[in-house]
Amino acid sequence: MNAQKNSNTSRPLDVLGKSLNSQVLIKLKGGKEFRGVLNSFDMHMNLVLSEAEELDGGESSTGLGVVLIRGDNIVYISPEQI
């Protein structure tokens, strides 16, 4: 049973790896939200996003281009479906 449980779960970095080159939604401490294409990440969950934009009320408010988001500020990362 233990082996079955392990085969049905993924580690957080594995899930991020599956989201590479896809659009993601990021929420930071303090409530700011960003959307962009996940280009890369490291073991600290520092993220590089391209085509990044800051969101205000779920709508794009500021286009930012390429950004680096420090992992210790992240509340959640969600893959987006367009």
Inter-CA distances, 6 with 10, 13, 19, Å = 8, 15, 20
Amino acid making up residue 67: V
pTM over 0.75? The answer is yes
Averaged in consecutive runs of 10 residues, what is the pLDDT profile of the chain (82 residues)?
A: 55 89 96 96 96 93 95 93 55
Rounded Cα distance, 77 and 28, in Å: 9
Structure tokens given for 54: 């800051």
Q: Which domains does the chain have, with CATH numbers?
A: 2-79 (2.30.30.100)
Is 33 within 8 Å of 49 (Cβ atoms)?
no
Would you give the end-to-end CA distance of the chain in angstroms? 37
